[in-house]
Chain A
């Protein structure tokens, strides 16, 4: 076990955990419902650990990416439906992330949001073109560690730790009206979706193939999944808890990433503000890269094209064209004038709708002894996997009604 590699892997996962959806929903959840939704973050994080570990294990043992195996293991039709669902979900999410990056650059520089959207897309595209896979992942993930200013802010404001600890226990706040209860349920579903975005497992498993994982890396896979996602989730919980302390008492329901940065500004002044904005900039840029690359990976793996960032861009031309096209389409969505925060809502809603479809093949493949041999899901992983799958299906069925009944959680 290479300790340095493991440490960097975990740090990268922590810095890259929070994306624009988690940022917005964590801050809003805190100001609206106090600490009551912390347990949903914990619950969903265990879910992404379970599926993340499975996807890394499938990559290390079967030595094939999920979409390639899906084509052989499942029917072509079901594989194609899953592919289309993932492509649409990731594209909307990528557009939401690019919109978030543009907002932050707009707040940092004062330049037009539109100019920043184009500039950010160009810079991110160039970074993917130039950097090898490991450094794409690490650069954004490690620079995203500026986000640690949020837990630092939480410590600095001396919150009621016992109340925060109670938030880890599942509960529904008392004295809420029916509408507020529905909004609470909507936020719970949205948080599950934001934490368990399908792109995370596709990017993670494709990355494992890029890094040429073998069965020797199963330990790193397990530790990175548990520690990286777990500590990253604590960062999101820190944003939620600070929001309870700072925003709830001021009647603020933070709806923009720019507002969330005030959580670090209030205890640390302008240095805290800039650190938070920079952390958000890199973390959200990293998420934009991951969503875009996930689409290119999925397409190339399904159709059996040459793929991988370990190759020169021209050595895998259809793969390269795919990720360039995804960035271009996502930018076009941003430039169409859709409010970026609406894009975040759509990304979260669409992702939860397609989650059952995207996680089913992974669950089947990880449990298939033909491919996985002695590393197929054991009883514990099977129970956890199918248990989470049931919850995802329930969340998917209730998502649209809750979205409409609560005007996207605003009521």
Chain B
């Protein structure tokens, strides 16, 4: 991201120093505000949505209402993103990680209800984290 935004920040600064200066000051303040708690919420929220998408695809696939390629690739994508999410979670005891592990262990064509159960648990954890 730094590389992509780098040259343009310089270009903007030539014509709009006050606006860019203010934006950068706010950006630094924003960075300082990020916390492990917000990272937990982000992990759980992303996992909840991915598992919910996977459940929906499996439900529709079981009814023969989506193409095979589509179902295969969407499942593959959901599992791959969940695996990446699990790898990025440094603390195995962090909220939601156990549920992510449970989802990853399921087969690609897992029963939608089992996935829905995990979605329910992740949603519960997400609500708790948001109101902490």
Contact = CB atoms under 8 A, between A and B. Distances in A.
B38 A179 contact: yes
B119 interface: yes
B1 interface: yes
A106 B73 CA distance: 8
A404 B30 CA distance: 6
Most chain A CB inside 10 Å of its own CB: which residue of B15, B123, B130: B15
Contacts of A300: none
Contacts of A400: 23-24, 26-27, 30
Contacts of B45: 253, 410-411
Most chain B CB inside 10 Å of its own CB: which residue of A261, A262, A396: A262
Given A252-B53, A393-B19, A346 B119 contact: no
Given A88-B7, A397-B23, A410 B42 contact: yes
Interface in B3-49: 4-5, 7-8, 11-12, 14-16, 19, 22-24, 26-27, 29-31, 33-34, 38, 41-42, 45-46, 48-49
Interface in B64-94: 64-70, 72-74, 77
A399 B49 CA distance: 25
A110 B70 CA distance: 7
Contacts of A88: 4, 7-8
Given A177-B130, A273-B66, A259 B53 contact: yes
Nearest to A272: B65
A144 to B, nearest CB: 20
Interface string A386-411: 00000001001111111011010011
B74 to A, nearest CB: 6
Interface stretch (A50-58, A199-207, A310-318, A352-360): A352-360
Interface string A244-258: 000000111111101
A267 to B, nearest CB: 10
A197 B7 CA distance: 19
Contacts of A193: none
A269 B59 CA distance: 12
A401 B16 CA distance: 17
Contacts of B65: 265, 269-270, 273
Interface in A149-179: 177, 179
B97 interface: no
Contacts of B14: 77, 81
Contacts of B27: 400-401, 404
Contact of A109 (B5, B22, B38, B69): B69
B60 interface: yes
Contacts of A410: 42, 45-46
B119 A350 contact: no
Given A81-B15, A274-B67, A404-B27, A350 B38 contact: no
Most chain B CB inside 10 Å of its own CB: which residue of A109, A252, A393: A252
B49 A252 contact: yes
Nearest to A255: B49
Nearest to A405: B30
B100 interface: no
Nearest to B18: A397
A364 interface: no
Contacts of B31: 404
B52 interface: yes
A372 interface: no
A411 B41 contact: yes
Given A81-B14, A396-B23, A404-B31, A346 B73 contact: no
A401 to B, nearest CB: 4
A396 B53 contact: no
A407 B15 contact: no
Interface in A88-124: 88-89, 92, 106-110
Contacts of A396: 19, 23
A250 B56 contact: yes
B4 A346 contact: yes
Contacts of B70: 107-108, 258, 261, 273, 277
B69 A108 contact: yes
Interface of A: 77-78, 81, 84-85, 88-89, 92, 106-110, 177, 179, 250-256, 258-259, 261-262, 265-266, 269-270, 273-274, 277, 346, 349-350, 353-354, 356-357, 393, 396-402, 404-405, 407, 410-411
18 contacts: A81-B14, A85-B11, A106-B73, A107-B69, A107-B70, A107-B74, A251-B49, A253-B49, A258-B74, A258-B77, A259-B53, A274-B67, A353-B5, A353-B8, A356-B16, A357-B12, A401-B27, A401-B30
Which 5 A-B residue pairings sit nearest by Cβ, starting from the closest? Answer: A401-B26, A110-B69, A404-B30, A253-B49, A405-B30
Given A81-B11, A81-B15, A253-B45, 19 more contacts: A77-B14, A81-B12, A85-B12, A107-B69, A109-B69, A110-B73, A265-B60, A270-B65, A346-B1, A346-B4, A349-B5, A350-B8, A354-B8, A356-B19, A357-B16, A400-B23, A404-B31, A407-B34, A411-B38
